[in-house]
Structure 1
Amino acid sequence: MRPPAPSAPVVLRRHPGAAAAGAPRILFLHGLAGSDTVWEETVRQLGAAHEVWSAQLPWRGQGVEGWGRTANLTPWVEEALASVPGPVDVVVAHSMSSNVLLELLDRTDAFDRFGIRALVLVSPFYRGTAEEFDWATITHYLNDFHLILQEGIRAHSGGRVSAETEILMAQRVREWIGPYGWIRFFDLFLRTPELRTARITVPCLVVGGAHDIATPSQHAIALAGALPDARLRVLGGSGHFPMVDEPADFNAELREFLDSVLTPPPVLQTTLTTET
């Protein structure tokens, strides 16, 4: 089968590694204006114990023109899940893609169809009640949107460009996203109080960064508290990209979580006795 063109809305990539037959499958999803390259160190650390996939989604940096004019983004995450051959045991999603994933799981039977056993939600946007949204919230995410994007540029560039260049690049990315893309992002955020989190009963790891200006750690704390089976980790030296800011700590938390949810429970041995 011919591989998808780079301009296709969803581009799936299997990462190198001779995973054993039957190894758990993990799918990584990047955030707004990001790229699956943000997971490179995480994927490298996982080794061959897992079959690892990542998706390039329409809202990737310089991705699909006009994606923001589509009101419902969930079919694209659904397409990524469906493109992985076999069950997807764990989905790891960052930032806005965490919210798209949660909406998909809330609206559909995706857990059953794709065999999802656990979730890792990194720097998600979340507020539990509509009353928590006010005009100051809109002002921050609208007027300071380029600062949030600048943090993503820093993470993807590895700090190799100056702060002045980061700002210019962030402003260009903001223009590419445009008002429609911003509306899609903020609309997802506004709908988080409507998520039926009680339906998401699989084990979840929610990771936040203590210095995140996009999604302060209170977002991760609130979401973890709303999920039936969630572990919360707030990394003290991280911003919006814990997997880049503190890769060793992030990867250790991820491996510990995967080991706990993917290791089969021990088989209890029973001894039969007969009475004489």
Structure 2
Amino acid sequence: MSPAPSRLAALAATAGAFVAAGVTAKVVDTRRREHRREQRGEEVPFGSVHSPVRTVVASDGVALNVEVDEADAAHADSAAPTVVFVHGWVCTLDTWHYQRLALRGLVRMVFYDQRSHGGSGRSTRQGSSFGQLADDLRTVLDEVVPEGPVVLVGHSMGGITVQQLAAESPELFGDRVVGAVLLSTSDNRLVRQSPALRRVLPFLRAGAPLLDWGRTFNSYSVIRRWAVGPDAPRKYADMSDEMILRAQTHVLLDFYPAFVDLDVRSGAEGLGRVPVVVACGDHDLLTPIKHARRLARTIEDARLVTLGGAGHMVPFEENVAVTRIIEDLLDRIGHPVREGDR
């Protein structure tokens, strides 16, 4: 039996009301986000610090978005390390906004978007693995830093990428790679296995466009809770929210199995050949500080830095401290970047 015309009209009206409510909520949420952006009062707007793009093609054909900031003439030195920055899951190379501003011109720096992130090309699900991310990093090094020493700086998934590279290519460490900074990261046992989630992943992937739309609603409060420390200035939560919302839902879904199976402990041997600093906020809910402590114990002679009160996004929250960690490491390996350190 077909629904009565009156019932059809009621259903249509209800559906229309839901759509209208969703559109209204979307508009309100967008306005709130714009207002928060205006309130940040940035001297240099977040997301505006860039260099000409260079495309590096990964071994499986994915185009990687790469940018290089050259040292100025006063600091140009063929013996000085190039600092290569590797961002985390659902982030972009804008993770390094503050470090880039602070160190620009003082040292050669390389930034790139990991596959499926930012301006880089989309990976297959099979290519969304730490092994492939490490291969991408090595390709970037081969193409953009073919000669000279390198210091690697990785945040979260970027730190895992560095560890995976050390596991697969330990010969690079102590030769090409002369130091590393691992921020808010882990080497194993980070995400528990969830058979139920594994089963529903195909359905979530099918609904990814809808999830992309839904994730924008009240995303700020989620990021405020999980990405930064409880006392972090509002602007850092807002910057994190702005950046993370750029990532499509498929990035979350495609990389999730890699985190469940995470085990890069074998990278400790290679990393132990060079100076390493492990740093983490003591209010990090995503990669709790116990992971940093374990990592620092595992890597020979690694230094542990605890960032009091900080959450996961330490490149924002503790940007001065993170920059100083990088500067101190460069000083430690004999290449100070500040006049006062020379």
Give TM-score scaled by structure 2 length: 0.61
Q: What is the distance in 2 between the residues matched to 1:65 and 1:255? A: 34
Q: What is the distance in 1 between the residues matched to 2:191 and 2:90? A: 24
With 199-208 and 62-71 compared, the bigger mean Cα shift is at: 62-71
1:20-68 per-residue CA deviation (whole Å, 9 max, x = no partner) reads: 1323211111111111111121122224331111122104247433443
Q: What is the distance in 2 between the residues matched to 1:219 and 1:242? A: 15
Establish whether residue 93 from structure 1 lines up as the match of residue 165 from structure 2. no
- Matched pairs, number: 246
Following superposition, the deviation at residue 12 of structure 1 comes to: 1.8
Contact 2:192 2:260 in 1 (8 A): no
Instruction: Write out aligned runs for 1:188-203 (5 A).
Output: 189=262, 191-192=263-264, 194-200=265-271, 201-203=273-275
Pair 61,114 (structure 1): closer, same or farther in 2 beyond 3 Å: farther
With 49-58 and 177-186 compared, the bigger mean Cα shift is at: 177-186
Pair 96,212 (structure 1): closer, same or farther in 2 beyond 3 Å: same
Q: What is the distance in 2 between the residues matched to 1:69 and 1:83? A: 24
Establish whether residue 64 from structure 1 lines up as the match of residue 118 from structure 2. no
Instruction: Write out aligned runs for 1:1-276 (5 A).
Output: 3-4=54-55, 9-15=63-69, 17-18=71-72, 19-22=75-78, 23-61=80-118, 63-70=120-127, 71=129, 72-73=131-132, 74-85=134-145, 86-111=147-172, 115-127=176-188, 151=227, 158-160=236-238, 166=241, 173=247, 175-187=249-261, 189=262, 191-192=263-264, 194-200=265-271, 201-263=273-335
Q: What is the distance in 2 between the residues matched to 1:112 and 1:27? A: 14
Q: What is the distance in 2 between the residues matched to 1:135 and 1:4? A: 36
Following superposition, the deviation at residue 112 of structure 1 comes to: 5.7
Q: What is the distance in 2 between the residues matched to 1:125 and 1:76? A: 20
One-letter identity of the residue aligned with 2:266? L
Q: What is the distance in 1 between the residues matched to 2:63 and 2:175? A: 20
Equivalent position SS for 1:57: coil
Following superposition, the deviation at residue 101 of structure 1 comes to: 1.8
Contact 2:182 2:277 in 1 (8 A): yes
Percent identity between matched residues is 21
Task: Return 5+ residue gaps in structure 1 as ranges.
Answer: 265-276
Contact 1:9 1:76 in 2 (8 A): no
Contact 1:209 1:217 in 2 (8 A): yes
Following superposition, the deviation at residue 159 of structure 1 comes to: 4.0
Contact 1:205 1:231 in 2 (8 A): yes
Q: What is the distance in 2 between the residues matched to 1:238 and 1:247? A: 11
Equivalent position SS for 2:97: helix
Q: What is the distance in 2 between the residues matched to 1:243 and 1:170? A: 14
1:140-168 per-residue CA deviation (whole Å, 9 max, x = no partner) reads: xx9xxx9579638x99x74448x9xx59x
Pair 228,21 (structure 1): closer, same or farther in 2 beyond 3 Å: same
Q: What is the distance in 2 between the residues matched to 1:53 and 1:62? A: 15
Q: What is the distance in 2 between the residues matched to 1:214 and 1:126? A: 13
Q: What is the distance in 1 between the residues matched to 2:255 and 2:119? A: 12
Task: Return 5+ residue gaps in structure 2 as ranges.
Answer: 1-52, 202-218, 337-342
Q: What is the distance in 2 between the residues matched to 1:134 and 1:178? A: 15
Q: What is the distance in 1 between the residues matched to 2:85 and 2:293? A: 22
Contact 1:119 1:204 in 2 (8 A): yes
Following superposition, the deviation at residue 9 of structure 1 comes to: 3.0
Rg (Cα) greater in structure = 2
